[in-house]
Amino acid sequence: MKPHVPSPEEARVALHEHLVDKATSARLRHGLLIDADAILRILNDRETVRYPVEIAFDADPLEPGEFAYPQPLGEHPADGFRLCLHPWFQPTPEVWPLLIAYHIPTINYGEIGGPAEAELFGATLLGIDRDEYYNALCELADSIPGEN
């Protein structure tokens, strides 16, 4: 008997369930209020973030309209990432969790961690509605001077 090969929809559902579990577990381990200190601890929590991540406030690798970009530090994800946040956000650590959480699925899972997965993970980690999270990210991206 052949093993069951999940359909693309079954795989998507399984990934989303996994992301919700990971985000919920991280929230329970690091506190229900995910502030700047908590999100930095989460980046060092290998149960949540599979690979090393350093934060840099550097707009050079960003495309117009991007608020952050996970820049690989080598050929393999295990080499780590430099998560470049737009310098506009450096003086506002209260928004770092929104910006950073969005990129954790991409860091963990590469290209299969698309926008839907990023929004689901970020909203779950922060304990807010997915639409509220998406709208907050859009407002933050639109707030970058010279980007609109």
pLDDT at 147: 60
* Burial state string for 100-138 with b = 16 or more CB within 10 A and e = fewer than 16: bbbbbbbbbbeeebeeebbbbbbbbbbebeeeebbebbe
pLDDT at 109: 94
The answer to whether residue 69 scores a pLDDT higher than 60 is yes
The answer to whether residue 85 scores a pLDDT higher than 90 is yes
Give the sheet arrangement for strand 68-72, strand by strand: 53-57, 81-85, 68-72
pLDDT at 21: 98
Tokens for 134? 């998406």
- Helix/strand/coil for 89: helix
Residue pLDDT, tens place only, 86-116: 999 999 999 999 999 999 999 999 988 899 9
- Ranges of beta strands (E only) in the chain are 53-57, 68-72, 81-85
- Helix/strand/coil for 84: strand
With contact defined as beta carbons under 8 Å apart, do 129 and 123 qualify? Answer: yes
Per the model's pLDDT, the better-predicted residue between 59 and 2 turns out to be 59
Phi, psi of 113 (to 5 degrees): -90, 75
The answer to whether residue 33 scores a pLDDT higher than 90 is yes
